[in-house]
Amino acid sequence: MMIRDGVDPLIPLARLARTAAVALDTAGAPTPASIGLILSDDVELTELNEAHMGAEGATDVLSFPLLTADSFPIHDGKAPTAGRPAGSSPAFSTPPGRRAHLGDVVLSVERAREQAAAGHGGQTGDVRWSPGQELRLLVAHGVLHVCGWDHASPSEEAAMRALEQRILAE
């Protein structure tokens, strides 16, 4: 986990790491594996959002997966892809004694704090809870994106939102 200068992580780092670990396990990520969590601010997320997503302005979380979505188990809300029947699992392979690095998640702690304070937190944008709870949701959300989850269709979004709630309940 990396914390940019001047960024307050809001809650104990062990709590964020636990949320990420539960999300990885729940999503069927290989073990052992690693994921980078970078706690940053709106300035960096604005730059990354423009450079990598072609979108203007800050966002709360961006994920940078190193594997394709097909590298992870097929999940609720996502149709099987060609060559991968429903119920099949990918075969992860890494060199002996090495852990697979799955990607990085960059979070704006500033945005999490503002969303929670304004009552614009949670999955629906109308939840009033602590900034730490909002940050945990963003960690879970970002990790699921690294693990091939998305919310482009209503069925995918419903499945992803339900999984996020299970992760946060742990």
Structure letter (DSSP) for residue 80 = P
Q: What is the pLDDT of residue 30?
A: 86
Q: What are the residue boundaries of the structural domains of the chain, listed by start?
A: 2-70+99-169
Residue, of 104 and 28, whose pLDDT is higher: 104
Residue, of 92 and 110, whose pLDDT is higher: 110
Interstrand relation of 33-40 and 2-3 (parallel, antiparallel or unpaired): parallel
Average pLDDT over every residue of 117-136: 82
3-state class of 104 per DSSP?
strand
CATH number of 2-70+99-169: 3.40.390.30
Q: What is the pLDDT of residue 83?
A: 52
Contact 34, 102 (CB under 8 A): yes
CA distances from 122 to 8, 131, 156 (A): 20, 10, 17
Average pLDDT over every residue of 28-46: 94
- pTM passes above 0.75: yes
Dig out the tokens for 15 from the structure. 């709590």
Q: What is the pLDDT of residue 90?
A: 57
Residue, of 147 and 87, whose pLDDT is higher: 147
